[in-house]
Amino acid sequence: MQTDSSFTFVLFGGTGDLSMRKILPALFEAHRAGGMLADSGKIVAVARHATDRAEYIQWVNGHVKAHVSKNGVDEAAWESFLARIEFVNIDLGNPEDFVQLRDAIKDLPGIRVFYLATGPSLFVPICRALASVGLNDNARIVLEKPLGYDLKSSNAINDAVGEIFAEEQIYRIDHYLGKEPVQNLLALRFGNALFEPLWRREWVESIQITIAEELGVEARGDFYDNTGALRDMVQNHLLQLLSIVAMEPPHSMDSDSVRDEKLRVLRALKPIDPRDIGKVAVRGQYHSGVIRGTAVPAYATEPGVKPESSTETFVALKVEIENWRWAGVPFFLRTGKRLADRVAEIVVNFRAVPHSALGASALRAGANRLVIRLQPNETIRLYCLAKQPGEGMNLASVHLDLAFDQFFREGQMEAYQRLLLDVINGRLALFVRRDEQEAAWRWVEPILNEWKASLKPPKPYASGTWGPAAASAMLAQHGTCWLEEEN
């Protein structure tokens, strides 16, 4: 991915956790690779927790360097990366300070990218302040999630930002869309004749999408207690993954062709009747337990969390898509904190053969399935049935495994690295368009409203397990179960 695109990358929240762990390391990896970032490109960090460039560079050396590579840091590359970085200390709440930012970047080259790695309450004030000093023209703005608390607040932010930046200037980032296996899902479906004829209701029995975390809320108790898993993970990550799994083939991979097809899926989601939410939606909250041999506390005792909190840390949903390809196929979505393992994967369960000529062992061995794992190890695995060695026709499940780190010698590109390069180079396909976001909020809103009004608390589950038993019972009603296997 070579580029000659000169740029000025302005990073608001330059000393924040996201900048430290993801954004700056991703920019360094692109810099170190050579040719991915134009030599003239500059990074301008904006923050209040440093007084000048020297202090900021000291912070980068002390906090960012540990996150840039598992294999050590090339010191020459690191020093040349630091040479790209400038720093501006301004108060984001004071529009008059943005004159200082304008003056600092007015002579810097190329397209201007403004990355808002801040809380959503600052999105609109920052955009208005940029416009007040003329920095919104011919620029790109990157918005991190969460973009609003519900459909109304999301629309309010989008309306305000949309008055300042055109839709084609706005990059709403969802880092799951930048992951290598998600890209390979598109290649698998639309680059091969083998799978596409099977990718429909006649051959698919059900689909599972799981994003599970071992971590709790860590230091984000205040934020998470006002957000919950449905807003934090389902409305964006899980529904975006679902739309890619279920979308129709686009006529090309240009930005609007891909996003048009994702939008059609989101608009085809079967609306949930509030009276049925108890049947198709499970919410849970973790209690104390053990994760990898270490005792961990209950959610209600985490710092920043209200002791009587009814915020969900686990969600499982049954979703249906009302179109010709997927009618009648259940999509099961699951996400949670303090679960038994850290894993993100898509499981396509194919239908069993209509008649087993090979006897009972074929039925016991199960049907075919395709597992696309996003983390921690990125693989695509196809499970088939094969005869066990020895006497008789005894079948067992075997798999064909595409392990990217073994098949491709060159290192994989991290999600943020790919997405930041796409912003710099003006590629919108992997970013969420406003109408997609609205459709997702519209679909989850009945669940949000019902849970807010409900007097029933979330179902408890012990940390280190796979969540409430009700989530497994929901799948059992459809004759299936969650795929839960060791990494």
Write the pLDDT tens digit of every residue in 332-344: 999 999 999 999 9
Q: Which residue out of 63, 237, 251, 478 is catalytically annotated?
A: 237
Domain boundary among 101, 122, 144: 144
Residues 74 and 205 in one domain: no
29 in a domain, yes or no?
Answer: yes
Type of residue found at 172: R
Query: Per-residue pLDDT for 412 more than 80?
Result: no
Q: Average pLDDT over the chain, rounded to whole?
A: 91
Q: Once rounded to an integer, what is the mean pLDDT over residues 403-426?
A: 84
Which of 141-145, 184-188, 355-359 has maximum average pLDDT?
Answer: 141-145
State what percent of residues in the chain have pLDDT above 70: 95
CB-based contact 403:377 (threshold 8 Å)? yes
pLDDT-based confidence at 399, cuts 50/70/90?
Answer: confident
Residues of the domain holding 312: 177-414+432-476
Phi, psi of 148 (to 5 degrees): 100, 170
213 compared with 183, residue with greater pLDDT: 213
Distance in angstroms (rounded) separating the CA atoms of residues 8 and 6: 7
Length of the chain measured in residues: 487
Respond yes or no: is residue 67 known to be catalytic.
no
The whole-number pLDDT of residue 146 equals 79
Distance in angstroms (rounded) separating the CA atoms of residues 225 and 311: 6
pLDDT in tens, 82-99: 999 999 999 998 999 999
Distance in angstroms (rounded) separating the CA atoms of residues 309 and 307: 6
Q: Compute CA 132 distance to the chain's CA centroid, rounded to the nearest angstrom.
A: 32
152 in a domain, yes or no?
Answer: no
468 compared with 72, residue with greater pLDDT: 468
Residues 63 and 186 in one domain: no
306 in a domain, yes or no?
Answer: yes
81 compared with 367, residue with greater pLDDT: 81
CB-based contact 355:367 (threshold 8 Å)? no
pLDDT in tens, 449-469: 999 998 899 999 999 999 999
Q: Quick one: residue 154, left, alpha or beta (phi over 0 = left, psi -120 to 50 = alpha)?
A: alpha
Residues 111 and 212 in one domain: no
Closest CA to 369 of 240, 483, 473: 483
pLDDT in tens, 287-322: 999 999 999 999 999 999 999 999 999 999 999 999
Q: What is the pTM of this model?
A: 0.92
Residue 49 is part of a domain; what is its CATH number? 3.40.50.720
Q: Once rounded to an integer, what is the mean pLDDT over residues 394-405?
A: 79
pLDDT in tens, 104-138: 999 998 999 999 999 888 999 999 999 999 999 99
Number of domains making up the chain: 2
Domain boundary among 144, 165, 193: 144
Give the Cβ contact number of residue 454 at 10 Å.
13
